[in-house]
Every structure is written in structure tokens, then in C-alpha cells.
Structure 1
Amino acid sequence: MRADVPAFFLAGPTRTVVGEGERESFHGTLRAPERWLAEIDGALAASDDPRAALVVGALPFGEDAPVRLFRPARALVSDAWGATTGASRAIARTPIDRAAHDESGGFVDAVAQAAGAIRGGALKKVVLARATELTVDQRPDVNALLAVLRARNPHGFTYSLDVAPGASDPTRLVGASPELLLSRRGTTVVSVPLAGSSPRCADPIEDRERAARLLRSPKDRHEHEIVVEHVVASLAPLTRALRFEREPVVSATPTMWHLSTRIEGTLRDRDLSSLRLAVALHPTPAVCGLPTRAAREWIARLEALDRGYFTGALGYTRAGGDGDWIVAIRCAEIAGARVRVFAGAGIVGSSDPELELAETSAKMRTVLGALLPSREVDPPRSHAERADDER
């Protein structure tokens, strides 16, 4: 990758997409998407070189937050990026500000309230998030951070997006997501939702047992089924020959085990672009909850943060409609020497607040472990997690 940080960067298992500069930007919200979707369709169709034309960016989590979508001035689509950790020397490796803000206490209370509401029948599932804000003594090297994230998560999606264009001090969303919202190639659509998670363990025997327990867990299986059913119901009217396994599989990242299901179908309408599909699917119950409207209301009531593009959808769509969109998780927002790390957890009626806190702490380590020495950056940990380490 070049020394300067491009406005958009997405490295997946099979291809890398880089967007530099902005030729044309598109504005609007998820509440009223048709106008800007039509503008994007028209801009791509009118391109002088349709094979090279693409729109990149992100959808926010909030319905009324602005989309961040643009045609880059220069775009490059290439093979998978084989990063190494050699560039990590440039990353800030200094102690964090111990006065950094963290919402862990409020998160535990919010989980308890949400689980009670679910048991009372107010909704089926809700995803609650928290953030930890850190300060380092120098601006992190985003390219170096991307290299480390990619080397540690080669099967996921490493990404960076300038979320405040035109600002004198860039703000970037940087992360390594394991979750594919959707991929479109021709008439083939694939979605691989993740829901139901367990932190990994350094001991290989215990680590394998955690994976096995996750696959047997009624709570996590229920959480996963809610997400799969929603994705299938959303894609069914748009596809034919929709296929998926009835039993989930366990997939791994360096920090987490996840329940995963691959869903694949054939588009009924070949003109339906990957971006339009992303808008149709987002937000899934993996990042919001079910019913969606009720979950959004509970999130607004219980969360103490503005998610921005965290738990949004990030990706690209090409002329002709092909493209990839991922779920923007395992990430941090970096502005100067301020680093704000996000994580969330799916809550159902049987959720244990302390275990959900432990899950978010483990998810934060994807970015924190790449950014700073691990012993300096561990987020607040639950009683259950500390007891688990002591056994």
C-alpha cells in the first residue's frame, strides 16, 4: 500500500479495493434512500469506462445519519493483499491515557434492562454497543495498523474509510471485520451472517472446548437463528433457489469464536445492485435486533454513544452491480491521537450482563492488540472473565 492513506481501503480474502480522492459524492440517509440510490445507478451507468467505475463508502447505523458514499478519483481493484506485520514498528506503542472514557458500567446495566424487556415480550433480540476512548502520545500510523490487522486476520476484511472528508484533521474508521453482509457476482448473491460468540482462550484444549460449547449453547443458537431467519426472509423475495445449511458452523478469528451460516441465492432481477441489496439487508439483527423498529428504540434508550458508521455497512459497488459489503465491526475511529474503539453484543432474554461485557472486551482486542502492547490496552473485564482466567 502507498505511504499516504487512501480515502477508502478494503482488503478481503480474494480482492483488494482502493479508492483515492473523490470525483463525486452522494448525500442522503437510510430513511429515504431511493433518490441517492438512483443517482448512484445513473452515475455508474454513464461512466466513460464502466469496467473501472465504482462507488465506495459506508452506510451508517442510524436511519437519519448521513451515508458516506462517493466515486473515487482513482480506483484500483487487485488481488488479495498479502500484508505482513513488518510495518508495525510505526504504530504508536505508548501508554494510553488512564483517564480515558469507558461506558462498561452503563453497559452492564443496559444489558440487564434489555434482557428483562425481552423476557417480558417487548422484543426478541437487541444488540447493545459500548466504546472505549484512548489517547496516545502520537497519531497512529493507519497504514501500519492496517498491515497488522490484515496479517492477523487474513480470512476477514481489513478496511479504512475517511469518515470526515475535508476536515483538517482526518477521522478514519479502521478495522478488521469477520462478517460479510453480502457479495454479488452476476446473479449470485452470498451473505454470511455471524451471531452467537465466545471469546477465545490461549490454552488450546480450553479453546476447542469453548468452540464446542458455543455450538451447543441454546442461547447462542437462538441468537443466531434470529439473524439467519431475518436474512433469509429479506433475500427470499429478491432471489430464487435460496440455499443455506440448517445447522450453523463455528468460525474463528484470533480473538473470537462465532456461529456462522452461508446463505446463497440467484437474483430474480439482474439490475439489483450490490448496494441496493446492502440497503435492503441493513441493519440485520446481528447489529440491531428484532423487530428492527423496537430494537432501534431500545438502543436509543439504553446506549450512551453515537455509533456513527460502527455496525453500518462498508464496501463498494461497480457498474453492472457487482460488489462486496461487509458489516463494519471490530473497528476504531481514529482522529489525531484519539482512538475510540467500539464493540457490541447480541442480547436475548437469557443473556448474562457480565458475560456480555466479557464478549465486548474480547472483540475490542482485535484493534487494541494490533495498536498497542496487550498488557497496556485490555479493556475493563467482567468478573466472569477474570474468574475464567484464574481457573
Structure 2
Amino acid sequence: MVEITAIENILNSKIQQQSALNERFLFTSPETSLITSGCFKRISQPLLDNTGNQVAFQQALREQFRLARAAGITRPKVVGAIPFNSYQPTALFIPEHVTETDREQLITQLRPYQQISLAEVIAQQAFPDQHHFTNMVSEAVAAMKRGELDKVVLSRLLKLSTRAPINSTALMARIMEQNPDNYHFHVPLSGQEVLTGASPELLLRKRGSLFSSRPLAGSAKRQVEWGDDQEIGERLLASQKDRHEHQLVIEGMTKVLTPIATQLSVPETPHLVTTSKLWHLATTIQGEINQPNENALELAGLLHPTPALSGYPHQLACQLIQQLEPFSRDLFGGMVGWCDDEGNGEWVVTIRCARLHQQLVTLFAGAGIVPASDPLSEWHETGTKLSTMLQAFGLH
């Protein structure tokens, strides 16, 4: 059961001045949703050391799990976010208490917080602006036509200035209500910052020795009229450009997973999935791990970032991203989720998200660029992706 009493106590107090989530980590999925309280230990050690290995991190995590059990925490979990660049510090912690529930209960419990008005947005700034972004796409397309790489994911930010700090619980309540089928997350960061969002993309789920993933690549804006909407979905499924982009992601992930799996099921063709704003091409990958002692975070780290967030080949794509993007992604485009001391866990890609800090809200969106990409179309695609979070603010 969710910690209903704790939430009700806050709802019965001065709701306009309170935040039920505050320092809590929240994560929802169709499988297991959870909400935390308290912090036993924060972990900032990068996932990868300077040799590109997870060994030091995993040893440190096992030691923290041991200390948590010794302190009386049963089945401890590590929760939080990993940056796009796995060599950068993580934003993880081991909670004192974790309550598992289901997504519908959490949506219901937070629904009353929608009555809280969000602080007014008084300014918006695209970073980079449209001209700069379309030039980035043109440079990437030219590099691909020269044969330097097959795909790169380029992103942009939208910065919102608000009249007062944003109540993250009120924002989370709106996000969950508007995107009920997505993976929701609320991650408390240092300095009273919060990372929050509604990701549609499962990076990795592990239960026992079984794992699954559902990468997304290739998207199209949904339409209001049912017939038009269905036509857009069918057009996306038949799009040679989007199918090519998607296949690059699947090939890259299959190459990573094949050596570590005793069984691996990768469908030959993608299927369509929808969010409130977009159609996506998706492929559900399933398998069984050949080393059951490897935990969910370790496996997710092998895949992260997938070609859906970096490009293909990965190293060349990351070099081009660093060259073209005028900012560091930090936690944007990373992964967020949880892992327990038995190795089970669930991690999703940190997209359709926002970072809150005082009176500044930073939104993030990216687009997969392939040789057939049109710069202006990619600008509009990122705009559609930003609308998932903008809708929560009542903006378009």
C-alpha cells in the first residue's frame, strides 16, 4: 500500500504551502510504482571510472547496501538519476523507507494537488534558438553524407522563468494526470533542485534473470481527429527514414545484449505506441541474462546511452554532440529509476522532463538526425516533444 496516511496528513494541513513530495523520490510504471521517505545515503560516484568500467561503482553500491541492511533497512533500494555522460557524478540515494504501490493509486493520491496554482511563467528562452538548432542539424546531416556516422541525436533546451518557485508536487500531479500511461519520476537533487517528468521509454527492466527493454526511435505528432491521427501513425510505420533511424537503435542494442544473454528475442519489425502528443516506433526486446548476479543498474549502464539518445556509432555520435550542442546535457538524456539489493529494478530514459530550481524551469527535448532529416522538421519535432511538459504549465 502507498503511504496514504502521510499524504493525507499533508493534504489536511495548509495545502497551498505544502509539498507532499518534497524530498521524496517517486517512480511509476505499469509493473511497480514506488515512493520513498528519508535518505540513508547519497551516492554521487560516477557509474563509470576513467577506464569505462562499472566495477568500482558496483563494489561501492554493494557496500552501501550492506550498511543499509546493518542499519535495519530491509531489502534496500538505490533510486535516482544517472547523467547522459556516465563519467559524470550520479544523483542517487538509498532511502530509509520505500513503499511499493501501483500507478493508479499514486495518481489518485496526488490528484488534489492539481488545485494548487503553478507560479506564472513570465519569460521563455529557447537555447539554442531556431537558427542555431537548424544549423546544427544541417552540419550533422552533412557529416553523415560524408560517411562519418549513421545517426546522431541533437537536443535543445527551453528555459522558463517563473514569478515564484514551482511547487513540484502540483506540477507532478498535472504531469501524471495528463500522461497516465507514461513512466513518471520525481527526483530530489541537491540544492533544492528537482528533476521531474513523464518518460515514454523503458531502458531496462529486470526481474530475477529475465530482462526487457522498449526503445523508441522515430516519431510523429498526433492529430486531434481520429482518422487523421490513425493516418499519421500508419504513415510513420511506413516511413523509410524513421524505420532506418529505428533500426540503427535496435542493431546497436542487440550488439550489446547478445553476449550477455542466454536467450534474446528481438522482433524484426517495430510496432506503434502513443503518448498524449506523439506516435512512436517501438520494439520490445526480451531476454534472459547469463550472469544472474548482475543487477538492473549494471545492465542498464551497459545499454546507456542507447543510439536513441546518442546516435550510431555511439562514440562518434557523442563527439559530434559535444561539438555541436552549446550546453552539457547533465541529467537530461540520462536514465532514472531504481534497483534493489537482489538485482531487480527498472530504469527509463530521462526525456519529456524538466529540472526545477527556484524560479527557473529547464525543459529538454531531442531528435534523431539521419541523412534524410530536414532541419526545420526536426525543430518542430523537438517542439512537439517539449509540449508534454509545457502542457502541465498550461502553455503550448
Q: TM-score, normalised by structure 2?
A: 0.89
Aligned mates of 1:74, 1:31 — CA distance in 2: 27
Q: What is residue 381 of structure 2 aligned with on the other side?
A: 359
Query: How far off its partner does 1:300 sit?
Result: 0.5
Identical-pair percentage: 34
Does the 8 A contact of 2:124 with 2:158 survive in 1?
A: no
Q: Find out whether 1:43 has 2:43 as its counterpart.
A: no
Of residues 3-12 and 107-116 in structure 1, the stretch that sits farther from structure 2 once superposed is 3-12
Q: Summarize deviations over 1:264-310 as a string: whole Å, max 9, x none.
A: 00111110100100111101000001111111110011001221111
C-alpha displacement at 1:99, in angstroms?
5.9
The aligned counterpart of 2:101 is 78
- Which residue of the other structure, out of 154, 170, 173, is the alignment partner of 1:147? 173
Match of 2:90 in 1: 67
- 2:25 counterpart (8, 21, 26): 8
Q: Does 2:366 match 1:344?
A: yes
Post-superposition offset of 1:86: 4.5
1:22 maps to amino acid:
C
Residues in 2 aligned to 1:295 and 1:68: alpha-carbon distance in whole angstroms: 24
Match of 1:314 among 329, 333, 336: 336
Counterparts of 2:179 and 2:21 in 1: how far apart (Å)?
A: 22
**Match of 1:286, SS?**
coil
Whole-Å separation in 1 of the counterparts to 2:375 and 2:291: 44
Give how far 1:102 is off: 5.0
Paired with 2:24 and 2:113, the residues of 1 have a C-alpha distance of: 20
Q: Which residue of 2 aligns with 1:122?
A: 148
Which string of whole-angstrom CA distances, capped at 9 and with x for unpartnered residues, describes residues 234-270 of structure 1? 1111111201211100100001110000000011111
Pairing 1:301–2:335 present: no
| Alignment root-mean-square deviation, CA | 1.8
Q: Deviations over 1:15-45 (max 9, x none)?
A: 2222333212223224413212111123325
240, 247, 251: which one aligns with 2:269: 247
Equivalent residue letter for 2:232? R
CA distance in 2, matches of 1:368, 1:293: 32
The one-letter code sitting in structure 2 at the alignment partner of 1:17 is: L
1:90-169 residue pairs with structure 2 within 5 A? Answer: 90-92=116-118, 94-98=120-124, 103-163=129-189, 165=190, 167=191
Letter aligned with residue 37 of structure 1: Q
**Aligned equivalents of 1:104 and 1:10: distance in 2?**
33
| Counterpart secondary structure, 1:138 | coil
Task: Note if contact 1:92-1:136 (Cα within 8 Å) is conserved in structure 2.
Answer: no
Q: Secondary structure at the match of 2:22?
A: coil
How many residues get paired?
370
Q: Distance in 1 between matches of 2:317 and 2:83?
A: 16
Q: Deviations over 1:62-121 (max 9, x none)?
A: 243211122112222222244155432214162431567553321111011101111111
Kindly state the Cα deviation for residue 205 of structure 1 after the two structures are TM-superposed. 1.8
Q: State the 1:193 CA deviation.
A: 0.4
- Normalising by structure 1, report the TM-score: 0.90
Cα deviations across residues 193-250 of structure 1 (Å, max 9, x unaligned)?
0000111122222211111110000110011011111111111111112012111001
* Equivalence for 1:383: none
Structure 1 runs of 4+ aligned residues shifted over 6 Å read none
In structure 2, the residue matched to 1:174 is 196
- Which residue among 271, 284, 305 is the counterpart of 1:262? 284
User: Cα 1:243–1:364, aligned 2, differ >3 Å: closer, same or farther?
Assistant: same
Tell me which moved more, 284-293 or 28-37. Answer: 28-37
Unpaired runs of 5+ residues, structure 1, are: 379-391
Note the alpha carbon deviations across 1:342-378, whole angstroms, 9 max, x for none: 000000111011111111000001111012x23xxx3
Is the contact between residue 16 and residue 81 of structure 1 (CA under 8 Å) also seen in structure 2?
no
Aligned: 1:215 with 2:215: no
**Could you tell me whether the CA contact under 8 Å between 1:159 and 1:175 is conserved in 2?**
yes
Q: For structure 1, which segment, 122-131 or 141-150, has the greater mean C-alpha deviation from structure 2 after superposition?
A: 141-150
Would the aligned equivalents of 1:103 and 1:131 in 2 still touch at CA under 8 Å?
Answer: no
User: Structure 1 67/95 Cα, relative in aligned 2: closer, same or farther at 3 Å?
Assistant: closer
- The answer on whether the counterparts of 1:91 and 1:145 sit within 8 Å (CA) in structure 2 is no
Distance 1:364 1:105, change over 3 A: same
